[in-house]
Amino acid sequence: MEILIAIGILGGLGLIFGLVLSAASKVFYVETDPRLDQLNECLPGANCGGCGYAGCGAYAEAVLNGEAKIGLCASGGNECAQAMSAIMGVKAVEVTRRVALVRCSGEKLYDKGGNQIKGAKLKGEYEGFKDCLAASKVGGSGPLSCKFGCLGFGTCVKACKYGAISVKNGVAVVDEDLCVGCMACAAVCPRKLIVPVEPNRNVVIACNSMARGAATTRACTVGCIGCGLCKKICPHDAIIIENNLARIDYSKCDNCGQCAAVCPKKLIKDSAVETLGDPKISKV
């Protein structure tokens, strides 16, 4: 009998609490804008943070409240921006696809005897935690002689949710076909090596060294020495030399490849030429 009474009391309490919660949900109900769910459906749900917000939900809410611009989602690209514009009833924005570029060409190559013949030189072997930030704090900016180069411990690889980055011969490499341009990799790179560029750019200068030419030469066999030959030959004035480092102004560059042909370090990469298999031929 006591068991039945206890069951009855618990059942009664459950019923009372249920009624109270039901009433409370109606009293405190806050109507949500149906566009919020629609905006969330447009987004990829990767929560990569490339838009500058904690996740897709936070970004959708910011757009709905007028606190964020449409078109910040690199993962969703132009299709996502068009759909969000339609939901918000505003003029559609065009989003240019961007991909990550690792500004380092210092891949380490060795001969059969184990002697390094190419790439960024090592000051010593690093045996600590396999993380780029941790390695950069050791031995006065890390194990590399070049304090601007890729440390190659794959912190960016771990940050990429799309499997678009891998480390080859000690340097991070981006697969443009997989990269969505979220730049989560750039956010974790302690050397600030990774920048967004438009994909399919034939000509790139993959170097970040701002050291003087002699210092760069001692640290890396392929580093930019700021000689200016690329700037002199460029017919469109698209090469800029700043802080001993050549950079390309892509608003002027037409991918002619003449800069790649004269670079004494063979640092400037021309993918159109590399496809032909002859590094001496420059595209016209």
- CA distances to 47, 199, 211, 213, 264 from 142, rounded to whole Å, are 31, 31, 16, 20, 27
We report the CATH number of the domain holding residue 61 as: 1.10.15.40
Domain that holds residue 193: 98-200
Q: What is the pLDDT along the chain (284 residues), one digit of tens a residue?
A: 677 777 777 777 778 878 887 777 776 656 678 999 999 999 998 888 888 898 999 999 999 999 999 999 988 889 999 999 999 999 888 888 889 999 999 999 988 888 888 999 988 888 888 899 999 988 778 899 999 999 999 999 999 989 999 999 999 999 989 998 999 999 999 999 999 988 877 899 999 999 999 999 999 999 999 999 999 999 999 999 999 999 999 889 998 999 999 999 989 987 765 543 443 333 32
The total domain count for the chain is: 3
Residue 238 and residue 175 share a domain:
no
What does the alpha-carbon distance between residue 106 and residue 266 come to, in Å, rounded to a whole number?
12
Does residue 23 sit within a domain?
no
Here the tokens at position 153 are: 């411990």
The CA radius of gyration of the chain, in Å to the nearest whole number, is: 27
Last residue of a domain, one of 23, 55, 88: 88
Here the tokens at position 14 are: 């459950």
Does residue 13 sit within a domain?
no
Here the tokens at position 88 are: 């918000």
Does residue 179 sit within a domain?
yes
Taking the model in full, what pTM does it have? 0.75
Residue 251 and residue 163 share a domain:
no
We report the CATH number of the domain holding residue 176 as: 3.30.70.20
Last residue of a domain, one of 148, 171, 200: 200
Residue 104 and residue 66 share a domain:
no
Does residue 264 sit within a domain?
yes
Here the tokens at position 280 are: 């001496």
Does residue 135 sit within a domain?
yes
Nearest to 222 by CA among 149, 134, 133: 149
